[in-house]
Amino acid sequence: MFDTLGLICMIWWHMMLFHPLHADTQCMESDAQESPIKNVNVDWRRKMELSWESSRNFSEYICTIMDGDEEYIEIEVDSPLCIFPVKIYMPLHKGVSFVIKVPNTNISKQCTYLPGGMNGSAIENFSCVIYNIFLMNCTWQAGRDAPADTQYFLYWQKSIEDNQMECERYIKDENCRNVGCIFQNVSIGIEKAYFLVNGSSKDSLIQFYDEYIDLYKTEILTAPLNVTANCTRDSSGCIITWHPPLTSHEKKAKCFQYEISIQNKDEPKEEKKLPQVWTDTYEFQNYNEKKRYTLKIRARGKNCLVSSNWGEWSEPIEFGQGKDYFIFVILFLIALGTISITLLLYCLSKRYCSLKNIFPPIPQPRDKLISEGDIQIEYVDLPTKSHTEEVTRIEE
């Protein structure tokens, strides 16, 4: 696009007003003649503002701004000032180009905003994740060509209206270099948040990295709450109920979709991933009372500002009576039967069967008998003793 303009020479270099970031703006003109457009000025601090002076009065100008990914915005103005919409969310670290054109003429001026600093010194692999509702971690890796003494600093702005704040708790590597940041109390808003990581070193200027992020997209949803399975004897199904996961911002139940996993404990390989459901109840039809199941549920967002990645599984809960229960019942019945039969055989092995033989009377303590002086009872006990001896003899 710019080739057609016949760019010829660099006219001037201009240090950016956005002073905390080392960067330069470099402008080129469309022809050798002196351009009527002069003194181009950029101000990113509050709004993205492009202003210039013109030696001739034109009724119309067109400003175009584009970032390294060739996304661009074009606006038309009738005075030498372009104010770009606040929410253009264009990161600056890859460089930004802008063009001022006067329609129906060949007059135009192209300027490029180039981040300064040593190539390869900027951080890489920046990513953030929100977990446990309010906590956020952002991590990065030091630039591969960054000098050993490079230290990085993270600044962020939750939205255009919020102030820029530095990270309060850095995650450090073994060399005490900052490689991440922990945020303690994050709430997800509707606007993209702006993150900037710059750095310093004694030896060289460190390039900065910046990015706009939709915070909700980075959230790992917590598990659905209060998962229950209610299986009643009279119906063949189980009613499974739960509550949506907690989030810092979205409360509507319709924003969540769920995946239910029901696993038969005896066949651990056969995991049933049931169809994704929108409600917060589900009827499990193929319930078999003789089996034992584990149940877990996870959620994701749909059509709302909620992460569309699956969140955490809920703690597995178990339901159903299971084989164990039936084995226990059967073992109990077998044990009961064995005892009954043993007793029966024992009785049959005698000529007669009486309670007295099965449960012989327990002899009373002697001293008690003596103190009472009742000799009669001691005498009555004697035949029992002889009887026991008799039994022993028979068995021999």
Is the CB of 141 or the CB of 159 nearer to ligand NAG?
141
* Buried/exposed code over 308-346 (b: 16+ C-beta within 10 A; e: otherwise): eebbbebeeeebbebeeeeeeeeeeeeeeeeeeeeeeee
Closest separation between CB of residue 288 and ligand NAG, Å? Answer: 18
Q: What angle do CA 209, 210, 211 make, to 5 degrees?
A: 135
CA proximity to 241, closest of 230, 257, 253: 230
Closest separation between CB of residue 65 and ligand NAG, Å? Answer: 20
Is the CB of 207 or the CB of 264 nearer to ligand NAG?
207
- Report the distance separating Cα 96 and Cα 268, nearest Å: 55
Asked whether 211 and 127 are in contact (CB, 8 A), the reply is: no
CA pseudo-torsion sign 306, 182, 297, 232: negative
- Report the distance separating Cα 203 and Cα 200, nearest Å: 9
Judged by the rule CB under 6 A, the positions of this chain that interact with ligand NAG are 6, 20, 31, 56-57, 106, 119, 124-125, 129, 131, 137, 141, 144, 153, 155, 171, 182, 185, 187, 198, 200, 225-226, 230, 232, 243
Closest separation between CB of residue 291 and ligand NAG, Å? Answer: 19
CA pseudo-torsion sign 14, 15, 17, 23: positive
Asked whether 12 and 25 are in contact (CB, 8 A), the reply is: no
Closest separation between CB of residue 186 and ligand NAG, Å? Answer: 8
Closest separation between CB of residue 98 and ligand NAG, Å? Answer: 18
Is the CB of 119 or the CB of 163 nearer to ligand NAG?
119
Is the CB of 169 or the CB of 323 nearer to ligand NAG?
169
Is the CB of 15 or the CB of 129 nearer to ligand NAG?
129
Is the CB of 116 or the CB of 294 nearer to ligand NAG?
116
Tokens of 162: 């919020």
Is the CB of 149 or the CB of 378 nearer to ligand NAG?
149
For residues 164, 168, 169 and 171, what is the CA-based torsion angle, rounded to 10 degrees?
30
Closest separation between CB of residue 272 and ligand NAG, Å? Answer: 21
- Report the distance separating Cα 310 and Cα 25, nearest Å: 44
Tokens of 204: 């060289």
Closest separation between CB of residue 367 and ligand NAG, Å? Answer: 60
